[in-house]
Amino acid sequence: MPTSIRPEPVPPGAVTSRTIGVLGRGRMGSALARALALDGRRVLIAGRRDPARPDPPPPSARVHLVPAATVVAEADPLVLVLPFAAVLELARAGLLQAGQGRTMVDATNPPAAGVSGHPRAGGRLLAELLPQWHVVKALNTVPAGMLGRPVLDGRPVTVPLAGDHPPAKAQVAALLCELGFVPVDVGGIDRAPALESLADLLMAIDSRHSLGGRLGFQLGLAEPMPAQNCGPGSGTALLRRPAEAFDGSSAPGALRC
């Protein structure tokens, strides 16, 4: 099983809702909805409608195309995969106000120039604009092609997440585990700019080397070589330890999904 590193274990029933909402019907939104539906969940999806084009069919029989207002009203969690400018437009128009203490997953990446004078501050800004939601920054480092097959070299892809509400982070971590990822808690929502910068770096590498959206992120542990082997040029060994090795005793906060 994949492992997650987080300060608190996922409480029983962390993912209580069987209805998940996806705002965004592009490649990422459709891939996410399809992956979520494979787990047997009811998935609501909505996106910006182009009057000049017919609505494409939902990506799965368990995925229901509904108005954005329905997604916002019923989903827990609500996952944002629209362009960041469109999310801001919805937030400032009051269309995302009905949070009522539910969880919002911010999977967006703002422009590199930043917003509101703060570079890479998308997740932080959404948390300020939408206090009625528990905003968790996550999935913004994952390309659409890895949803449904989150494995690199036989090991699961790591997904960092950030947020200020521990139960909401536990809910998102449990959902990521169900999707096959390794969730890693990096702290509060003030860490969201770091996740946005990481996504920017991964996209830049992907573009420069024409990788076609196949670049993912994994964490490993660097450990010193045994003392008798240390010497000039020996350095350290980067060990790809199996997930089963992280049983909660080898590292603080290391827990099984």
Q: pLDDT tens, 193-231? A: 999 999 989 999 988 998 888 888 888 777 654 544 333
pLDDT at residue number 150: 85
Question: How far lies 94's CA from each of 91, 101, 132, in Å?
Answer: 5, 16, 12
CA trace torsion 72, 73, 78, 79 (10° rounding): -20
Using a pLDDT cut of 90, give the percent of the chain over it. Answer: 49
Average pLDDT score over the chain: 78
Return the top range by mean pLDDT from 105-114, 197-206, 248-257.
Answer: 197-206
Average pLDDT of the residues in 93-113: 88
pLDDT at residue number 162: 97
pLDDT at residue number 193: 92
pLDDT at residue number 212: 86
Residue 118 has pLDDT above 80, yes or no: no
Angle at 123 between CA 174 and CA 125, to 5 degrees: 145
Q: What is the pLDDT of residues 139-181, one digit of tens each?
A: 999 999 889 888 888 889 999 999 999 999 999 999 999 999 9
**What H or E segment, with its residue span, contains residue 3?**
strand 3-5
Residue 239 has pLDDT above 60, yes or no: no
Identify the three-state secondary structure at position 138: coil
pLDDT at residue number 120: 56
pLDDT at residue number 97: 87
Domain with CATH 3.40.50.720 in the chain: 3-8+16-208
Residue 11 has pLDDT above 60, yes or no: no
Using a pLDDT cut of 70, give the percent of the chain over it. Answer: 71
Residue 113 has pLDDT above 80, yes or no: no
CATH number among 3.30.420.40, 2.20.25.10, 3.40.50.720, 3.90.1170.50, domain 3-8+16-208:
3.40.50.720
Average pLDDT of the residues in 237-246: 35
CA trace torsion 52, 58, 64, 67 (10° rounding): -20
Is the pTM for the entire model greater than 0.95?
no
Structure tokens at 222: 């660097």
